[in-house]
Chains A and B, each alone.
Chain A
Amino acid sequence: MRYVVGYTANARGRDALNLAVSLARGRGAALDLVMAIPDAGVFNAAHAPAAGYDSYLHRQASEWLDEALALVPADVPAKAHIRSGESDAQTLIDACDEFQADMLIIGATSSGLFKRFTVGSVAGALLHAATVPVALAPHGYHRREALTRLSCGLGDRPGAEELLQVAVSMAKHREVPMRVVSLLTLDGGDSEAAADAARDYAAQRVAAALPGDPSGDRAAAQLADKIEVVVAHGGSVEEAVDRLDWEDGEVLLIGSSRLARSSSIFLGSTANRILRALPVPMIVVPSDYEFKQANHSTSNEPSREAQA
């Protein structure tokens, strides 16, 4: 299990690093810290040849990475790499391919000026093109212990079952309780009936996603007892998210929109709004991530992240 961390030597990079340590600890994963540096654009520099600046950049980047490695606790194996490319997002996606990463972890903030999640440009680009789950650390994330709970955002779109399966096996292997969250935005109407319908729907989906015979699998059986289904109401998605209680050690798993190109992430507008209101990290899973992984693997497990 390898996670790529998109590291920058600023607060955003440290948010990502903390989340990476936390995620790695629950799963025994190794970290690959990747610092993306831009290719020196030959179509840019007037009156100065580009040669030479690269070496300053490399030296600075390796200093920064050394500092970052020093921040990683001893029980989490980590390596550092410098990679260059045209855009930071593309560089990180390529690095995920290179290291066959199971997840990409980045800091999501663009600056500290805005509330919690404001998707930075790199994060924004990644969410439209990554082929592995992308974990987004919110601004100022400093927790480094393993997760304590996994939430899974449920919609009624195609792909919800696959997402639930990923969530179930993730929770199982991390031995954490799981919560299924259904977000309802109500503009008047019969809120009680709608909530009940949503709760029933979610419960059905959860039942379908659980292994057929939980008694044969002790971990799954334990998990089945611990799955909680909640429906959050609010006048808006932001309000619904705000009304839920979140544990410090929690992450929210959501699927990407059906608009996504095959096997890449596209964050729908709802997910984008969740992101802005959410106080905990969020992991965005590409639309047919499970499907791709199932083809590569003989097991029925939906993804490598979920495998033992």
Chain B
Amino acid sequence: MSTEQATSTAHTEQHGLSEKGLKAGSVGLIGAVVIGVSCIAPAYTLTAALGPTVSQVGVHLPAIFLVGFIPMLLVAFGYRELNNAMPDAGTSFTWASRAFGPWIGWMGGWGLVAATIIVLSNLAAVAVDFFYLMLAQVFGNPELADLSSNLPLNIATTLVFIALACWVSYRGMETTKTVQYVLVAFQLLVLGWFAVAAFSHVANGTAFDATAIAPDWFNPFAVESFSAFAAGVSLSIFIYWGWDVTLTMNEETKNPEKTPGRAATVTVLVIVVIYMTVALATLAFAGVGTEGLGAGNPENQGSIFAVLAGPVMGPFAILMSLAILSSSAASLQSTFVSPARTLLSMGHYKALPHKFGKISPSYKSPSYATLASAAAAAVFYVVTRTLSENALWDTITALGMMICFYYGITALACVWFFRAQAFSGAHSFFFKFLAPLLGGVILLVMFVKTAYDSMDPAYGSGSSVGGLGLVFILGMGVILLGVVVMLVMAKLRPEFFKGQVLTRGN
């Protein structure tokens, strides 16, 4: 492409979206599945989300994990339609702005950025836990694992991890294909090993609290209350988060017609099988009791495998530490790309100060936006860690809420943006209207219900500030902060908010 061409397109498309980046398709089915699984990072999501979900729904964990996939699937259909019509690094921000105008669009972007920043801080914290656990396993000295609960040391190590990942991302270094294949294969292998080992403990009568698997575990309607159900679903949205990437890979794949759909299907089958196996193995081995190794023990909620891997896998528990450490470190680095690109897009469309739109001349990465994301993740972690008795648990719950918020907005943006085509055929009706509408409504209902319930100071880990649950403070605080920043930006750079930059509709 010559500069002359590029500049002229930039001029003609000032008010719309710029053209798709062209590139030769390079990913086959297996590659796409590997990408999907690595984006989900099952070893990390399970250790982070399994405990908090059990605390909400108890033995109905498998049911909730299955049900949680439905809104994700419905929303992902809408996501794919939007991505095909308007591929843009700003994703939710850009789409919601085009559909609903600047204010809702801005909040959609904020939701995405907040969710990814929360997950960055959680990823770093999980990586740090397993880092010290691994040191303890390597040197045979359990005291080293306890270093992770030393507050100043924990915060310092986490900040170092965040800074390292930020530096790697800033330098534009990428995880290569080979590394990604190895990481994914290793994760699946270790999770499988964990499940087999847990079941054999159950069979040998050496399990902590052998619990017989019952059909009732798979019945989502047996969950005791709607509150627990909503909380469980918003947590299980988190465990599938990243799966939508497979659906939206088009031009990257060798066969854009078929590969993305097949890859998404295979990915979700792999993930569901591994989630079910590990969830059942954990419940069968440890039960949902609140004592000792029980999955309901608040002590174990933040990172279940940190507690269970040792008793279940014996000396091989170090493999679990390695798997989670490597997958969360890789995710930490690759997840930086997401808020950075959205912030870049917001800077570019004048929804944030100009400097967010900067690209590093040397590394061609979103320079300012990457640094800002790292700073935000660091601040978020320090605040949460200081306020919460169990920061990991509370961040994951707040994260589930945030994902429901911005996915809900995105899904409804799809419905509204394509409203003229909604009844123009069966395909359009289902993918552009019905699926995203249902998905969006479900997620926003979950969001509102979880937000309401989390006001209870006993919610989540039971941390509270001023009589309000910490999860509520975190979730709503982040959204309110977004509103404040938005109003400040509307004063400073009014063009975007007058709809002069990103125009509504087609």
Contacts and interface: CB of A to CB of B under 8 A. Distances in A.
A13 B361 contact: yes
Interface string B336-354: 0110011011001000000
A74 interface: no
Contacts of B272: none
B87 interface: yes
A45 B245 contact: yes
B362 A52 contact: no
Interface in A18-67: 37-66
B87 A43 contact: no
A10 interface: yes
B250 A51 contact: yes
Interface stretch (B1-9, B289-297, B381-389, B408-416): B1-9
Interface residues of B, number: 57
Interface-centre pick from B41, B180, B334 (highest chain A CB count, 10 A): B334
Interface stretch (B15-23, B212-220, B431-439, B458-466): B15-23
A54 B83 CA distance: 14
Given A49-B249, A51-B83, A66 B7 contact: yes
B87 A51 contact: yes
A51 B248 contact: yes
Given A13-B361, A47-B338, A52 B245 contact: no
Interface stretch (B98-106, B133-141, B144-152, B169-177): B169-177
A46 B3 contact: no
Interface stretch (A75-83, A258-266, A284-292): A75-83
A200 to B, nearest CB: 47
Contacts of A65: 3
Nearest to A111: B362
A47 B1 CA distance: 29
Given A43-B175, A65-B3, A80-B2, A48 B21 contact: no
A41 to B, nearest CB: 4
A278 B348 CA distance: 42
Interface-centre pick from A47, A62, A81 (highest chain B CB count, 10 A): A47
Given A43-B174, A45-B334, A80 B245 contact: no
A49 B263 CA distance: 15
B90 interface: yes
Interface string A148-170: 00000000000000000000000
A41 B39 CA distance: 13
B121 interface: no
Contacts of A79: 2
B83 A39 contact: no
Interface in B81-121: 83, 87-91, 116, 119
Contacts of A197: none
Contacts of A58: 1, 6, 18, 21
A12 interface: yes
B241 interface: yes
Interface-centre pick from B38, B87, B331 (highest chain A CB count, 10 A): B87
Interface of A: 8-10, 12-13, 37-66, 69, 79-82, 84
Nearest first, the 3 closest Cβ-Cβ pairs linking A and B are: A54-B21, A62-B6, A51-B87
